[in-house]
Amino acid sequence: RYGGSSTFCRSSLAMVEQCLRGEELRARHQAALLKLRKKALREKARAELAWLGHQKCCLENLQDSKGASAMAEKQHKILAELKEEQAEIQHLQNIYRAAHQERKLLLKQQREILMMRHSTAQLQEKLRNLAG
């Protein structure tokens, strides 16, 4: 009876360890995805700003102050959107990081509980052997 319980504790402990490894892998993947999203966002904004800058120069050369002003406004709007998106990504990173830490803590606590149960089962078995 107690040997089976000990085996169960070991297999449960192995499952918790596997969950911890999976959690670490998921966290790394999530961080990598957000980093890629941030990079793509910067590249997109950089390309849009370069294009608008070119258009603005062309309009200034044509002495179209209204058009150049409109291009400057669009550039400002793109920069504002970039800041907003970056703030959202940072917020998501913070949320994912906190959730990861909570899950990791829960799994570690589960591992400690299982290790205590395993130790208790071993001690009970030793006591039974000494008594028997």
Minimum mean pLDDT among 65-69, 85-89, 92-96, 122-126: which range?
A: 65-69
Q: CA 124 to CA 130: how far, in whole Å?
A: 10
51-to-79, 89, 103, 109 alpha-carbon distances in Å: 14, 25, 45, 54
**pLDDT tens-place string over residues 59-74:** 888 888 888 889 989 9
**CA 117 to CA 11: how far, in whole Å?**
12
Q: Kind and range of the H or E element at 59?
A: helix 2-61
pLDDT tens digits, residue range 20-47? 889 889 989 999 999 999 999 999 999 9
Alpha-carbon gap, residue 75 to 54, rounded angstroms:
11
Q: Is the pLDDT of residue 4 over 80?
A: no
Is the per-residue pLDDT at 108 higher than 50? yes
Residues belonging to the chain: 132
Average of pLDDT values for 4-10? 64
d(CA 64, CA 58): 9
Residue that is written with structure tokens 């089962």 in the block: 121
Report the pLDDT value the prediction gives residue 90, as an integer from 0 to 100.
Answer: 95
Count up the domains in the chain and report the number: 1
What is the band of 2 on the pLDDT scale with cuts at 50, 70, 90? Answer: very low
pLDDT at 9: 67
Cβ 86 vs Cβ 38: under 8 Å = yes
Show the domain range for 98.
3-131
Cα angle, residue 54 at apex, residues 73 and 72 outer, rounded to 5°: 10
